[in-house]
Amino acid sequence: MSEEQIKSLENQFEARIARDEKIEPKDWMPEKYRQTHIRQMSQHAHSEIIGMLPEGNWITRAPSLRRKVALLAKVQDEGGHGLYLYSAAETLGISRDEMFEQLHTGKAKYSSIFNYPALTWADMGAIGWLVDGAAIINQVALCGTSYGPYARAMVRICKEESFHQRQGYEIMLKLSQGTQEQRDMAQDALNRFWWPALMMFGPKDEDSPHTAQSMKWKLKRKTNDDLRQQFIDQTVPQAELIGLTVPDPDLKWNEERQSYDFGEIDWDEFWQVVKGHGPCNKERMAARVNAWEGGAWVRDAAMAYAEKQQERKTKQVS
Amino acid sequence: MSTKNWPLWEVFVRSKNGLEHRHFGSLHAADAEMALENARDVYTRRNEGVSIWVVESKHITASNPEHNGELFEPAQDKVYRHPTFYNLPDEIKHM
């Protein structure tokens, strides 16, 4: 294809997106659109899969059967969400194995929030309430994204995640009505997860070089800072309702903006964790690689069994 | 390490009797039986279906969007296939 032809295709493509038309797997798309989507969708899928680890760790220690079935269901949902997203990413021509390879070698990232440890039962509450709460805000914005398979996966995920946040908040609510020790535990979990949750929306707009392009492709429909503000505004009253204090001395209602002003985020910490120096980066990756390698014989055995069955069927027919 | 990867399957789910099977997504599985079981876990965790079809993705032949013109444009100028093409008096009933 000549450069002129490509330019013309690109113009038609941008016009389709501007008209709010969806892009489907076999449609022509600029290479950069394909690559950006593979990167974002696979990172999103990896986040779901790694996100199973901090919570999976608490399933056997859930304080009641009610909490245990809820946590099991939530972790299973996250596995399911990872699978929706991997499948959607595969429609862009990357294989599942390539994506796993990128995750396991550290070439692909996942959400930094999962590199923080889940130390107490209250962390299950804080994660559901804050981490899933932040994820929902990001994901609702993505339901209208231009790439059809991604948008469809997002719609399913958003429908399912509402329970994740509610079960988390319920855990916090119960603890906040409990003994002093339980209330302290809930406050401590909020203290540790508040700032990392704010970082989930990514760098400030002025430090986010891809924002303009991503907004144009509707891969982002609101900027990082807008989404972060929305999260703060809706979460602060939820904390107040159960008597917990948001660990930010600069947090203050701004009457004029009808929004909360908040303190400076520690971006050094953010970049440290992104670069692999968070409290649990190594542990998470080791658990993931171990599961993949340890499960190899099961995958091989299933494949060998399927082939044998197929052979037997073919023989019977002939 | 694994030498062979599980093939890709497309999943179709009937939400309830009376409705058609609709494409829900895809997944990897070693064989059809496992594809059905995985589809149950991945796509119907909340009573989304009463029946599942799985078909290996390689067996699906898809039209190419680049040929959309020759495939679908011929239908565009055939307005006489729609009831509104026909001019009838307003007084006419039951038609």
- Contact between residue B12 and residue B21 where contact means Cβ atoms under 8 Å apart: yes
A315 touches chain B (CB under 8 A): no
Fill in the DSSP letter of residue A257: T
Task: Look up residue B53 and give its DSSP letter.
Answer: E
Number of inter-chain CB pairs under 8 A, A vs B: 57
Mutate which: A84, A157, A161, vs B, most B CBs within 10 A: A84
Residue A24 touches chain B, beta carbons under 8 Å? yes
pLDDT at A270 over 90: yes
What secondary structure letter does DSSP report for A105?
T
- pLDDT given at position A68: 98
Q: What is the pLDDT of residue A177?
A: 97
Beta strand extents in chain A (DSSP E only): 252-254, 259-261
CA atoms within 13 A on the CB side of B42: 29
Percent of chain A with pLDDT over 70: 100
Contacts of residue A244, defined as CB under 8 A and 6 or more positions apart, other chains included, come to A172, A176, A186, A187, A190
d(CA A255, CA A258): 5
Q: Is the pLDDT of residue B1 over 70?
A: no
Exposure string of A50-87, with b = 16+ CB inside 10 Å and e = fewer, is bbbbbbbebeeebeeeebeebbebbbebbebbbbbbbb
Partner residue facing A296 (CB), from B2, B6, B28: B2
| Chain B residue nearest residue A300, CA to CA | B2
Residue numbers in A near B67 (CB within 8 A): none
pLDDT of residue B3: 61
Q: What was the pLDDT predicted at A213?
A: 86
Q: Say which amino acid occupies A177.
A: Q
Other CB atoms within a 10 A radius of the CB of residue A98 amount to 16
**Residue A41 near residue A88 (C-beta atoms within 8 A):** yes
Beta-sheet pairing, B8-14 with B51-56: antiparallel
For residue B27, count CB atoms less than 10 angstroms from its CB and return exposed for 0-12, middle for 13-18, buried for 19 or more: buried
A52-105: pLDDT as tens digits: 999 999 999 999 999 999 999 999 999 999 999 999 999 999 999 999 999 999
Give the HSE-up count for residue A234: Cα atoms under 13 Å, Cβ half-sphere. 12
| A148: contact with B, CB 8 A cutoff | no
Above pLDDT 90, what percent of chain A?
Answer: 89
Answering whether pTM is above 0.90, one says yes
Give strand pairing partners of A197.
none
The closest alpha carbon to A236, from A102, A152, A133, belongs to A133
Q: Using a CB–CB cutoff of 8 Å, tell me whether A153 touches chain B.
A: yes
Residue B26: strand, helix, or coil:
strand
Mean pLDDT of chain A: 95
- Partner residue facing A305 (CB), from B2, B5, B30: B30
Closest by CA position to A118, among listed A61, A176, A199, A68: A61
Give the 3-state secondary structure of residue A51.
Answer: helix
Q: Is the pLDDT of residue B55 over 60?
A: yes
pLDDT band at B2 (very low <50, low <70, confident <90, very high): low
Structure tokens at A83: 């699978």
- What is residue B92's three-state secondary structure? coil
Tell whether A130 is within 8 A of chain B (Cβ).
no
Give the pLDDT score at A1: 77
Token pair belonging to B40: 């149950």
Chain segment B3-26, per-residue pLDDT in tens: 678 999 999 999 999 999 999 999
pLDDT tens-place string over residues A214-257: 888 888 888 999 999 999 999 999 999 999 999 999 999 999 99
Q: What is the DSSP letter of B89?
A: -
ipTM of the complex: 0.88
Distance to chain B for A303, nearest Cα, Å: 5
